[in-house]
Amino acid sequence: MPAGIQARTGRPGIFAFLAAACLFLLAGCMGGGPSSDGPSGPVLGNMPVTGEVLGTGPIRVAMLLPISATGNAGVLGGQLKNAAALALREFSAPTIQIMIKDTGGTPEGARLAATEALSQGAELILGPVFAAEVTAVASVARPSRVPVIAFSTDLSVSSPGVYLLSFLPRSDIDRIVQYAVSQGRRSFGALLPASSYGTVAEAAFMEAVSRYGGRVVAVERYALDRLAMQSSAEAMAEIANSGQIDTLLMPDAGDAVPFMTQVLSSRRVRTSEIKYIGSGQWNNDSRIRSESTLVGGWFPAPEETGFNSFASRYAASFGGTPVRAASLGYDAASLAAGLASRFGEQRFAPQTLTQSSGFAGVDGVFRLMPDGSNQRSLAIYEVVQGSTRLLDPAPGTFAATSFGVPGLGGGLASAATAPGPSGISPTIVGSIPRPPTGSGFGAPAFGNAPGL
């Protein structure tokens, strides 16, 4: 049985298999609690369903995708749809149908698609992909009290009831800083792009270093040209050579990081003394793997097995290799199908979607947060010449307190039990398939790509 999203009841060893590799709560069976989003629940339309539909169940879910968009956006839209179809095909008797609505990749197209989906009785909206689209969809979904689980990586568009399923810079940076501190690193510097991503990364960096007991010594921002990058790297080299830092964060993707580490090396910064750390954007990037000055660097990423399994099944069904972000479509559809099968009228209520125990999917353990953000369990990898190696496996569950969120404390559980795929002991978390290196759609990685 292939791996899907999984949930587990509070009684050890008793699992309700809900998807191809099932949707399990990782801890605790959900209680009754208050009713769903508002006193009367969602406001549902009753117009006939039009357009392409996946599945035949009575519960209507919409998936908003840039199917007709040009370039990479259209490719991604088609593959997210295929992944959702695969999820329903591998699910045992799903009770949902997924209405595919084309946004064209524009805010107005997304607003119209959401309006149509709501008029046709959608209880949950999956997607859209781009940040501006999410804002447009939220404007029509929120008055109808219908939750949205979007694929954007722009945290600013999330809010209660508008959740993000994608890989977020905050999870990346929290995990790599936590690991660095656990290895005795205490004094941090950062080289960050002068972009919206750099701003988000800096805020996450400052918060994480403070939370785990380190200190930030210096932050340099650079424009995306070689002269600016060289100037920032040279300034940081002076700080590194003075002994003020022992760890340097460079979360950017593409050619920027290899170029800056070459500058640092030319200024005699020694990697035996200064540990380079990155983000999920380092993952599956041949430019990072092949750069000799980055050997020994650490970065966070999902583990590999889950996506490899998903990609193999996808290729068998649709031909070709799916883009890295296609797994989000699988997890979103599996999540919707599993919750619909398990939780009755409370299936998409806020307390159902944001259970603190989270879910285990293709991309590892994740949970949706009440503020619309998410948290993901990530592994730590080290760059070796031409490749990478696993240093620290992704934690199997979330601890009762995690990521320093108010009321949730800090840190992930380092071990746990959760159900695994058929033929593997369901108590071995390490056997749950994980995704491969990479958190992205092309380069830069989808998880941090600007504009999503």
The answer to whether 45 and 295 are in contact (CB under 8 A) is no
Secondary structure of 300-359 as H, E, C letters: EECCCHHHHHHHHHHHHHHCCCCCHHHHHHHHHHHHHHHHHHHCHHHCCCHHHHCCCCCE
For residue 384, give the H/E element and its range.
strand 379-384
Per-residue model confidence (pLDDT) at position 254: 85
Instruction: Count CB atoms within 10 A of the CB of residue 153.
Output: 28
Q: What are phi and psi of 147, to 5 degrees?
A: -70, 155
> Do 170-301 and 1-167+302-378+392-452 fall under one CATH topology?
yes
Per-residue model confidence (pLDDT) at position 13: 33
Token representation of residue 214: 């380190």
At 355-402, the pLDDT tens digits run 998 998 998 899 999 999 999 999 999 999 899 999 999 988 875 333
Q: What are phi and psi of 218, to 5 degrees?
A: -155, 145
The answer to whether 201 and 192 are in contact (CB under 8 A) is yes
Token representation of residue 85: 């179809």
Per-residue model confidence (pLDDT) at position 310: 96
pTM: 0.79
Query: Which residue, chain included where needed, has tokens 């990058």?
Result: 229
N- to C-terminal Cα distance for the chain?
A: 33
Cα(451)–Cα(131) distance, integer angstroms: 6
The answer to whether 301 and 381 are in contact (CB under 8 A) is yes
For residue 80, give the H/E element and its range.
helix 71-90
What topology does CATH give the domain 1-167+302-378+392-452?
Rossmann fold (3.40.50)
Q: Any idea what DSSP says for residue 10?
A: S
Cα(155)–Cα(373) distance, integer angstroms: 7
Q: Which amino acid is at 433?
A: P
How far is residue 249 CA from its own chain's centroid?
Answer: 20
Largest CA distance in the chain: 69
The answer to whether 101 and 62 are in contact (CB under 8 A) is yes
Low-confidence ranges of the chain (pLDDT < 70): 1-41, 399-452
Nearest C-alpha neighbor of 110 from the set 147, 137, 78: 137
Cα(311)–Cα(293) distance, integer angstroms: 32
Instruction: Count CB atoms within 10 A of the CB of residue 273.
Output: 11
Per-residue model confidence (pLDDT) at position 305: 87
The CATH class given to the 170-301 domain equals alpha beta
- Please report, for the chain, the start and end positions of each structural domain, with discontinuous segments joined by +: 1-167+302-378+392-452, 170-301
* Helical axes 71-90 vs 327-342, angle rounded to 10°: 40
Nearest C-alpha neighbor of 202 from the set 218, 187, 178: 218
Per-residue model confidence (pLDDT) at position 40: 52
Per-residue model confidence (pLDDT) at position 447: 32
Per-residue model confidence (pLDDT) at position 449: 38
Q: Is 193 helix (H, G, I), strand (E, B) or coil?
A: strand
Per-residue model confidence (pLDDT) at position 397: 81
